[in-house]
Chains A and B, each alone.
Chain A
Amino acid sequence: MFAPIVIVPMLIGAFASLALGSRGSTKYVALAASIVSFALALSMLGTQQQAQDVNWFAFAGNAFVLNFSLAPIHMLLLLIVAGVTPLVLGYSIGFMRLPSEHGRYYFEMLLFASSMALFAISGGFLTMFIGWELLGVTSYLLIGFWYGKEAAPTAARKAITTILIGDLAMFGAMLLLWTAYHSFSFAVIQGVQHSAAATVALSLILVAAFTKSAQFPFNEWLPDAMEGPTPVSAFLHSSTMVKAGVFMIAILLPIYAGYGMLLPILAIGIVSTVIGATNALVSTHIKRALAYSTIEDLGLMFIALGLNALGAAIMLFIMQTFYKALLFMNAGAIIKSNNTEEMWRSYESASHRPLFIASVIGVLSLAGVFPLSGFFGKQAVEGASVSAPLVYAILVIVQLLTGLYIFRWLLIPARRAPDNIAPKVRGGYRAVSIAMKIPIYVLAAIAVAASALYLLAPAYLGISAPQINVADAAVAFALTLAALVASYYVYASRSAIKAAQALRRYRSLSVPLYNSIFINRAYLAIAAAFGAIAYVVDRFDYWAYSRVRVVSSSLIEMGRATSRIESGNVTTYAAIFVGGITALIIIFGLL
């Protein structure tokens, strides 16, 4: 089947939603469209004709082709996208309560889903770039969705500025590669010869990947992007869009390995992981903590890629989808019930047992506890790093931090509420709509069941299964357990308050943990630098323009000066008359 067909229902749904606007049927139409797309995606499993190309236009004897591919790895991402979309849209039915927003919201969400699907099935740079750009714009619209708030548009601006850099880097890289190979197709570009232009192109692609996947130093747009509605965070910023960079590098990994350019990937991955883990530990905002956690997850994926362990990266890639989406949806439930996004002002998350169990599953999966799917993902990466001791050591520390922050995240909102508001909060949890709960339960189930993919996926993709080091798994488990105990002690036990007081004495030690502030300050400094340059150039422009006017006024002055020769005196004229003749005689007499 022709690959882009899978996008069609989503697009139809998008425009239908826009047309239907604030009617009640909008959300159901959107959901239906996404389900149809998922069905189509499923039907494409096992398709024979995997590489499909469309000739778009030709110039100077060269064809510009839109490449599509249904190779296993693309199929995988497509299924993930097409599968998560209905879950998120279903969740949205319960979360987005204002009918006036529906038309715009479902339009933008389905447009995003279509772009992500397009991205997934792209077999070449041109197609991928189109999807890439669309992802950026839809993300901008969705982050800034509630433009009545002050913070949302600001966050959207930050996101789009960062992503724009990546967009243009990718554009440049795409064209450089085309110049060398006269093709955009990934298959053709695999056989890359060393050249300066190719190195530049690959570096630019890395930059693009890092901007999209919120890696250092482009990571700060992601936490701010949490200003968007929670379903948006669950969809774009945990399970799909941010992983686009990882996906792209994964497809091109052999080339990077051949060029010896794996080190930057590894390095950036490590830095980002550390940043993610440390900032998540000190974040007090429910969704921001998860955002930093996502940065950490993505960093781990890049570490795996940097170690040329494609299998490990893909394993984590798959598993992270489920627990992250799950945790974000949970976060949405907590936020709705407590009417705040601050962790310390949220309570009673344990009051609604099923929801709490689902969140525990998500948390344990993230921490990498056997036998949940997250275990296979995280351990695959750690296993791959065993051969590089330095990396392994860092990952062990990160493992500890992960445990600390995620249990903290779980336990703080689980506290008992003060008596005056307890009934309201508990009632809030009960009132969480069924439309929100069902996707949460489904994802929890998947988070458990997806462990099976550890066995199935590598075979499907045709790569070797990632090794899991048992010793390392044991160490990780021990650390997680320790983290659980520590968190419980600090946040949930009866001695929580004393523990908190004790911790406050060591507050200054935690400064490095707030390192995202430095990154933000760097952004502001860069923006200020641009602003300063702009100021100088603008002043120059203004000054130069006023100089130009001087020319015209001096012409007039010249005129005034010359006109004084016109004295009105006849004898003067006569004298000049004669003088003129004399002058002419002299001048031309000399010739």
Chain B
Amino acid sequence: MQYYLIPAYATIALTLAYVALSVLFAYTNSRRAAFVTATVLLVAIGVFAAIMASSPLEITIANTLHAYPFSMFFIMAFSLLAVLVNILSYRYSTDYTAFSMLFSFIFMGMFLVSSANNLFSIMLGLEIVSIPAAFTILHSGKRHIEAAVKFFILSAISVAVLTFALALIFPYDLQMGLTYLAPNFQISSGYIIALAIIFIIAALGFEMAAFPFNLWVPDVYEGSPSNITAMLAGMNKKIAFVALIEILFVIFINYATEFSPIIVLLSILTMFFGNIVALSQANVKRMFAYSSVSQAGYIMIGLAAATQFGLEASAFQIVAHALMIIGAFAVIGWMESLNIRSVSDYTGLHGRNQFAAGSLTVLMLSMAGIPPLMGFVGKFLLFSSAIDARLVALAVLGILNSFISIYYYARVINQMYTRKNSARIAAEPYAMAVALVAILFIFALGLYPQPLISLAHNAMVSLRS
């Protein structure tokens, strides 16, 4: 065993330890121990993953887990995001230990999907991600039952579709390996491939919040407690992207010209749907739900470009947006706990708590794509990749959507900075900490994005080889 591969093994070991300890602490109901353990382990996982992500080394462990820069990149990202979600949940979750246990399963599922080297692992991992997610929503209170049930039913449908897709592919690749479909094997008709691609996109599109599979998003996001919404938007959605990248750009890589138009169409529809409906929302949480729907559309631009550059841009934006949305829902959750929900409730927020208003402003400006913030860099890379792939119309529509989104963000900013005499809001360390981390990344990666771009580059190169 080469010693320079230790970090890879370490990540796996620590993940298993994380799961085991979470279960244990759930059983003994020790909140603080659970929180501290989770945070420490997740940070450690993240560090090791980062080390592995910046080197080109690869290894397949136990024939199922492929530790290579691509998987390490996303595991690094997800562990950071998991820390943030954990902090939020520690503060806001009704039954933290139970959540922590379920969340550890979710994390393990994400690990599995990222480092999958065959389709079964992907499917399994996705299941492990979605089912506990549904249960976390269910477990958090009676008024969240509707959201949980909706989520569960629709994810069941998507899984069914995914399974069917895999069934279509199965005859052509009995190993179901995550290798590209050999170009010389006989397929009686391309329709099978097309069908399979569509089903896969549909199934993953559910989780990714692509139109028209994303109708559940606003209801579920609004109906769940904010820490879970953060998780859904920041992590669950992203893992679907990871899965999609793995499947489309490895197995179906030779069919890029076929699936690219599909993604273009979905991207356009998703962006418009998200942005236009967001314009008419009065509830801030719902508005952000629609906003994150449209953000999924932007990420799809990079995938539609189907070039190396496009994948890197999408990877960058995946991480960037996850950070932003978790930070946003941190603040929104904080406001929710004080019964501030609608846009008019946010009036005068600047006077009540400068940090809340300021952080939300920075987050929204970043999501709108204002330089020199991280969100701008991501969008810039995405639009560039679109034009580079000569998908100029797509870039135009993307920029147009970016511009439309400013409208509803500006409305909220406007309200926050209006003067209104209201009671001061006390500081809330957990939510503020999460938001602060998000903002730090927004500025740091906005002014100096090169590190993340290099890691993404590394990851995508390793995927293609």
Does B431 belong to the interface (CB within 8 Å)? no
B198 touches A584 (CB 8 A): yes
Query: What residues of B have a CB within 8 angstroms of the CB of A573 in the complex?
Result: 150, 154, 215-216
Distance in Å from the Cβ of B122 to the closest Cβ of chain A?
Answer: 19
Does A511 belong to the interface (CB within 8 Å)? no
- Specify which of A552, A572, A573, A587 lies most central, judged by the most chain B CB atoms within 10 Å of its CB: A573
Query: What residues of A have a CB within 8 angstroms of the CB of B213 in the complex?
Result: 577, 580
Chain A interface size, under 10 / 10 to 19 / 20 to 34 / 35 or more = 20 to 34
A562 touches B198 (CB 8 A): no
Query: What residues of B have a CB within 8 angstroms of the CB of A591 in the complex?
Result: 258, 261
Distance in Å from the Cβ of B260 to the closest Cβ of chain A?
Answer: 11
B198 touches A555 (CB 8 A): no
Select A566's contact among B198, B219, B262, beta carbons within 8 Å: B219
A-B contact count (CB 8 A): 81
Q: Given that A573-B154, A574-B154, A577-B154 are contacting pairs, would A585 and B277 also be in contact in the complex, using a CB cutoff of 8 Å?
A: no
**Within the assembled complex, what's the spacing in Å between the Cα atoms of A581 and B194?**
12
B202 touches A562 (CB 8 A): no
**Within the assembled complex, what's the spacing in Å between the Cα atoms of A68 and B198?**
86
**Within the assembled complex, what's the spacing in Å between the Cα atoms of A591 and B404?**
32
Query: What residues of A have a CB within 8 angstroms of the CB of B280 in the complex?
Result: 556-557, 559-560, 562-563
**Within the assembled complex, what's the spacing in Å between the Cα atoms of A574 and B195?**
19
Does B56 belong to the interface (CB within 8 Å)? no
Select A585's contact among B153, B195, B212, beta carbons within 8 Å: B195
Distance in Å from the Cβ of B176 to the closest Cβ of chain A?
Answer: 22
Select A577's contact among B194, B212, B258, B407, beta carbons within 8 Å: B212
Select B215's contact among A555, A557, A565, A583, beta carbons within 8 Å: A565
Query: What residues of B have a CB within 8 angstroms of the CB of A559 in the complex?
Result: 276-281
**Within the assembled complex, what's the spacing in Å between the Cα atoms of A570 and B216?**
8
A555 touches B279 (CB 8 A): yes
Which B residues, 182 to 222, have Cβ-Cβ distances below 8 Å to chain A? 191, 194-195, 198-199, 201-202, 206, 211-213, 215-216, 218-219
A580 touches B202 (CB 8 A): yes
Closest residue on chain A to residue B218 by CB atoms: A566
Distance in Å from the Cβ of A124 to the closest Cβ of chain B?
Answer: 52
Closest residue on chain A to residue B223 by CB atoms: A568
Does B161 belong to the interface (CB within 8 Å)? yes
Distance in Å from the Cβ of A161 to the closest Cβ of chain B?
Answer: 44
Select A556's contact among B194, B265, B279, beta carbons within 8 Å: B279
Does B329 belong to the interface (CB within 8 Å)? no
**Within the assembled complex, what's the spacing in Å between the Cα atoms of A568 and B150?**
9
Does B273 belong to the interface (CB within 8 Å)? yes
Does B149 belong to the interface (CB within 8 Å)? yes
Select B154's contact among A555, A566, A570, beta carbons within 8 Å: A570
Which A residues, 523 to 558, have Cβ-Cβ distances below 8 Å to chain B? 552, 555-558
Select A555's contact among B202, B258, B276, B281, beta carbons within 8 Å: B276
Q: Given that A570-B150, A570-B153, A591-B261 are contacting pairs, would A576 and B277 also be in contact in the complex, using a CB cutoff of 8 Å?
A: no
Chain B interface size, under 10 / 10 to 19 / 20 to 34 / 35 or more = 35 or more
Select A584's contact among B202, B277, B281, beta carbons within 8 Å: B202
**Within the assembled complex, what's the spacing in Å between the Cα atoms of A570 and B201?**
20
B407 touches A589 (CB 8 A): no
- Specify which of A558, A570, A591 lies most central, judged by the most chain B CB atoms within 10 Å of its CB: A570
Distance in Å from the Cβ of A574 to the closest Cβ of chain B?
Answer: 6
Does A588 belong to the interface (CB within 8 Å)? yes
Does B157 belong to the interface (CB within 8 Å)? yes
Closest residue on chain B to residue A584 by CB atoms: B198
A562 touches B261 (CB 8 A): no
**B436-462 CB contact bits vs A (8 Å, 1 = yes)?**
000000000000000000000000000
Query: What residues of B have a CB within 8 angstroms of the CB of A563 in the complex?
Result: 277, 280-281
**Within the assembled complex, what's the spacing in Å between the Cα atoms of A560 and B280?**
5
**Within the assembled complex, what's the spacing in Å between the Cα atoms of A578 and B198?**
12
B276 touches A562 (CB 8 A): yes
- Specify which of B158, B161, B198 lies most central, judged by the most chain A CB atoms within 10 Å of its CB: B198
Query: What residues of A have a CB within 8 angstroms of the CB of B202 in the complex?
Result: 577, 580-581, 584
Distance in Å from the Cβ of A562 to the closest Cβ of chain B?
Answer: 5
Does A354 belong to the interface (CB within 8 Å)? no
**Within the assembled complex, what's the spacing in Å between the Cα atoms of A566 and B158?**
19
Can you list 13 pairs linking A and B with CB atoms under 8 Å apart?
A558-B279, A562-B273, A563-B277, A566-B277, A570-B150, A577-B154, A577-B213, A578-B157, A581-B198, A581-B202, A584-B202, A587-B265, A588-B194
Q: Interface residues, chain A, CB within 8 Å of chain B? A: 552, 555-560, 562-563, 565-566, 568, 570, 572-574, 576-581, 583-585, 587-589, 591
12 extra A-B contacts, CB within 8 A, seeds A570-B150, A580-B213, A589-B194:
A552-B407, A559-B280, A560-B280, A563-B280, A566-B218, A566-B277, A574-B153, A577-B212, A577-B213, A581-B202, A587-B265, A589-B191
